A and B are shown apart, each in its own frame.
Chain A
Amino acid sequence: MISPQRVSAIATNTVREAIRNKVLYVLLFFALVLISTGVLLSTLSYVERDRILQDVGIAAIRFFGAAMAIFLGVGLIHKEVDRRTIYTVLSKPLSRSEFLLGKYLGLVATLWLQMAVMGVGFAVTSWLSEAPLDAGHAYAIGLAGMEAALLAAVATMFSSFSTPLLSALFSVGIYLVGHLTRDLRELGAASGSEGTATVTSLLHRVLPDLESLNLSIQAVHGLPIAPAEVAFAVLYAVGYSAALLVFATILFQRRDFR
Chain B
Amino acid sequence: MSDAPEEIVVVDELVKDFRPGFGLRKKRVLHGISFKVRRGEIFGFVGPNGAGKTTTLKVLMGLIHASGGRASILGHDIGESAYRRHVGFLPENPWFYDHLTGREFLDFYARVAGVGVAGRADRCAELLDRVGLSHAADARLRTYSKGMLQRAGIAQALVHDPSVVFLDEPMSGLDPIGRKEIRDLILRLHTEGKTVLMNTHILSDVEMLCDRVAIIVQGRIRYEGCIGDFLQNEERATDVVLGAVSPDVVEQFETRFEAGVKGRGDRIEFRVAEKHLEEVLRIALDTGAEVKAVTPHRVSLESIFLSAVEAEGAER
Contacts and interface: CB of A to CB of B under 8 A. Distances in A.
Given A6-B112, A9-B108, A84-B93, A93 B81 contact: yes
25 contacts: A5-B111, A9-B108, A9-B111, A10-B112, A13-B97, A16-B100, A17-B97, A84-B91, A84-B94, A87-B61, A87-B89, A87-B94, A88-B90, A88-B153, A88-B157, A89-B112, A90-B63, A92-B109, A93-B81, A93-B84, A94-B114, A95-B81, A256-B18, A256-B58, A256-B65
Contacts of A9: 108, 111-112
A13 B108 CA distance: 8
Interface in A83-133: 83-95
B99 A20 contact: yes
A254 interface: yes
Contacts of A22: none
A159 to B, nearest CB: 18
A3 interface: yes
A256 B95 contact: no
A92 B63 contact: no
Interface size class of chain B, counting residues whose CB lies under 8 Å from the partner chain: 20 to 34
Interface in B1-57: 18, 55
A88 B65 contact: no
Interface of A: 3, 5-6, 8-10, 13, 16-17, 20, 83-95, 254, 256-258
Contacts of B81: 93, 95
A209 to B, nearest CB: 33
Contacts of A6: 111-112, 114
Contacts of A10: 112
B94 A91 contact: no
B168 to A, nearest CB: 9
A90 B62 contact: yes
Contacts of B160: 92-93
Contact of A258 (B61, B64, B88, B113): B64
**Closest 4 A/B residue pairs (Cβ):** A9-B111, A91-B89, A87-B91, A93-B85
Q: Which of A6, A91, A95 has the most B CB atoms < 10 Å from its CB? A: A91
Given A20-B99, A90-B61, A92-B84, 19 more contacts: A16-B99, A83-B95, A84-B91, A84-B94, A85-B96, A87-B58, A87-B89, A91-B61, A91-B62, A91-B88, A91-B89, A91-B157, A92-B112, A93-B84, A93-B114, A94-B113, A254-B65, A256-B58, A257-B58
